[in-house]
Structure 1
Amino acid sequence: MTMKRRKILFVISSLGRGGAELHCLRVAPMLNPEHYDIAVFLFRMRGAAFEEMPRHVKVFAPWYEMEVENPGLASRLVRMLVSTFQFTVCLLKERPDIVHFFLPSSYLHGGTVALLLGRRNLVMSRRSLNYYMKHRPAWVNRLELFLHGRMKALSGNSNAVIRQLIEEEHAPTDRTQLIYNGVALPELSTQIREAARVALDVSEGEIVMIVVANLFPYKGHADLFEACAQLPLNQPWRLIVLGRDASGIMPALAATADRLGIADKVHMVGGQADVGRYLAAADIGILPSHEEGFSNAILESMAFGLPMVVTDVGGNAEAVLNQETGLVVPAKSPAQLGIAIRRLIEDPEARRMMGAAGRQRVERHFSLRRCVEDYDGMYQNILSSRPLGNA
């Protein structure tokens, strides 16, 4: 007997190159097409990765797109009215069996519309800690907590996120589920590494460090620059800073690097579609964030066999085992960050062992296939009215 294909609608602002957007881009095509008819609804804009979504996944691009960072009130009002109408049409026409929201703005907007239209199989995925709530009006936070109670499932991508959902936001325990991010394991070889380093003009013996994170103050780039200023300048090293300037801080960061005397060591390459060509050339991965949910960038770096230096925030220490797959240091501490980086620079055997252990850990616990299987299990439990049971 042929299984009925169920319609799953992902709802997100865009298919840009942020962590949540790329997560949707990778997960949606891998859900079993024999079981699911997958579609994605975009509220705000297509985004830089829009064309990368495989054709068998239907994507509803916004009728009215806004690409400016700070649109005027009139533009925001028009966008809200148009996107609300478009989403309403989409729900009524497509009649998805499950509507799955990613990121707070899509959740608040789309979740409210879906409830008003009587949709009941609703899912929200939280991919960060809730610090963003501190900067919003109280009534908006109350709306989000109200929506939590109407979801069939709330997933979080780290134990830290799950704890916050349950303890601070009173999410129902029996409808809260941990689903870690997942990444694909790239092919690694000496030839691939050498070719990547030649392409970036890396000299023999030069240590390449990389931080993959869009430029927001809370990502801690300034701390990292302070830490790197402690490293011997006569030592051959470089820092690759990969990520789009999402908050306009690149000029200030460049000025900081110049002030610290490391401008010639810091290579800010902006957002890149092919992150792998940089990771393949690197020796050490770094994420100095002040806050995180659970970082895809950490997993991607570990998948390339990089030992990691990360701050102890969010789910970072769930991904990176201190002294085993990398080093975990306190947030907002450039001094300790610098000590950890220097230790790995000076100990090639530790880099090798931690990098190999990290790649193995990704393969065992954070594969993309396992992530997709967890989503599939959650959807099947919702459709069969079974409890989730792993919060």
Structure 2
Amino acid sequence: MIILHAAPVTWRSPNGVTPAVQGLVAAQNALPGCRAGLLITSRDAGALPPLEFPVFQVGERRGLSRARPADDLPEPFRRPDLVVFHSTFVPLHAVLAARRRALGVPYLVCPHGGMTAEALRQKAWKKRLGRLWFFDELIRHAAAIQYSTHREREKSGDWGRPVIIAGNGVHPPAENQIARPGLRPARRFLFLGRLHIQHKGLDLLLEACRKVKEHLLRRGVEVVLVGPDVNGSRRFLENRIRAMDLGMLVRLRDAAVGDEKRRWFQSADLFVHPSRTEGQPAAVLEAMSFGLPVLVTPGTNVAEEVVTEGAGWETSCDPNELARDLRNLAELPGSALARAGCAARNWVLRELTWDRAAARTVSKYQRVLQLARAA
């Protein structure tokens, strides 16, 4: 099976789509009988890391024309069995889709949370124009829409196309590299990801911390926010932490990768992700792979499964409820944190590795192809 993934990935400014696409393409390309490649559709992807699969880039550096990107691809990716368009509202994807349709090549759209009602409300007037201009047409001719979770599908409504559910994966660390939550008298509650205030709900987290500051400090809790700036968000957070007098409780740290990122996960007792909207957050999967229990909102689209698996707790985007849950988890016995962390890691090892995610997606892609050819 030949699969071409088209995505606006970038290694210059981190986003959730890039690691998800990179992990999926690599894992699919490693499957027997499957060749997967990546067409980068962003204008500035930055310096590419070493990638173990075919990569093509629109623009002069890679020799692909923005006017004829599909025609310039080498075989077998000029006419693959299937194209997967990642993200939403990328005009170039509509151009590519039209050219693929002319060759009889079916395609999927994987929105990564971009088609939920909450996501469509952000920059709403631009997205209404985008829908009129090209996006609804792109969806209308899609063989299927690929959502990461059942919850993402529910929140996205009915777009009139077949649907498959196939989520992301993670590369779990070795057993001797995982976290040991609940062992220390003091506790670290960790958020690690882009410091996108509205998207990630960091304003809600600060307000919740303000409400239970004294209690958390008495219990030896520190709340650490680790991640890259997004449009000046770091300065906003610094100002809010100062204005709320949270400097003794909340720490703000720079983006971490590699060994530094691993050390943050290892040092934590709880991973907190209060997002308003997501597809399927890679940071939550990665935290669980390290054996960390998680506190997540419905906006992450994994809260129901987290509770079912005993991997953590569901909270709310209401700062009062979030504050209550932070307080309760500060009181929780260390053994309960350890149990939830163990359940989180076991769930990842059983269901959420990239190998398993790739096999699931390819199986569902094959079904989509059967339906497309029968239509």
- State the TM-score, normalizing by the size of structure 2: 0.83
The structural deviation recorded for 1:353 is: 1.6
CA contact (8 A) 1:103 1:126 kept: yes
The answer for unaligned runs of 5 or more in structure 2 is none
280 and 314 in structure 1: CA distance in 2 versus 1, 3 angstrom threshold: closer
- State the TM-score, normalizing by the size of structure 1: 0.80
Matched, 1:113 2:108: no
- Whole-angstrom distance in 1 between the partners of 2:218 and 2:106: 59
Match of 1:327 in 2: 313
338 and 212 in structure 1: CA distance in 2 versus 1, 3 angstrom threshold: same
Match of 2:107 in 1: 122
Paired AA for residue 23 in structure 1: A
CA contact (8 A) 1:126 1:161 kept: no
Match of 1:310 in 2: 296
53 and 33 in structure 1: CA distance in 2 versus 1, 3 angstrom threshold: same
The structural deviation recorded for 1:279 is: 0.9
- Whole-angstrom distance in 2 between the partners of 1:49 and 1:277: 25
- Whole-angstrom distance in 1 between the partners of 2:236 and 2:335: 36
- Of 247, 253, 275, the residue aligned with 1:263 is 247
- Of 266, 273, 278, the residue aligned with 1:287 is 273
Match of 2:220 in 1: 236
- Whole-angstrom distance in 1 between the partners of 2:279 and 2:143: 21
Secondary structure of the corresponding residue to residue 373 of structure 1: helix
Paired AA for residue 296 in structure 1: A
- Whole-angstrom distance in 2 between the partners of 1:281 and 1:192: 9
Paired AA for residue 115 in structure 1: A
186 and 46 in structure 1: CA distance in 2 versus 1, 3 angstrom threshold: farther
| Deviations, residues 148-192 of structure 1 (Å, cap 9, x unaligned) | 221122110111222344x4422x2xx310112222222233x76
Secondary structure of the corresponding residue to residue 210 of structure 1: strand
| Deviations, residues 78-136 of structure 1 (Å, cap 9, x unaligned) | xxx95343344227873222211101134x42233331451432111121124343322
Match of 1:7 in 2: 2
Matched, 1:363 2:349: yes
Match of 2:131 in 1: 141
| 1:217-228 alignment, distance < 5 Å | 217-228=198-209
- Whole-angstrom distance in 1 between the partners of 2:142 and 2:36: 19
CA contact (8 A) 2:278 2:301 kept: yes
The answer for unaligned runs of 5 or more in structure 1 is 1-5, 66-80, 198-202
The structural deviation recorded for 1:46 is: 5.6
Match of 1:155 in 2: 146
| Deviations, residues 178-219 of structure 1 (Å, cap 9, x unaligned) | 112222222233x7658xx9xxxxx96331111123122221
Paired AA for residue 158 in structure 1: T
- Percent sequence identity over aligned pairs: 20
The number of residues matched between the two structures is 352
| Deviations, residues 202-260 of structure 1 (Å, cap 9, x unaligned) | x9633111112312222111111222231333443322212221232110111111122
CA contact (8 A) 1:8 1:99 kept: yes
- Whole-angstrom distance in 2 between the partners of 1:47 and 1:239: 32
- Whole-angstrom distance in 2 between the partners of 1:121 and 1:146: 14
- Of 15, 18, 37, the residue aligned with 1:18 is 15
CA contact (8 A) 2:284 2:294 kept: yes
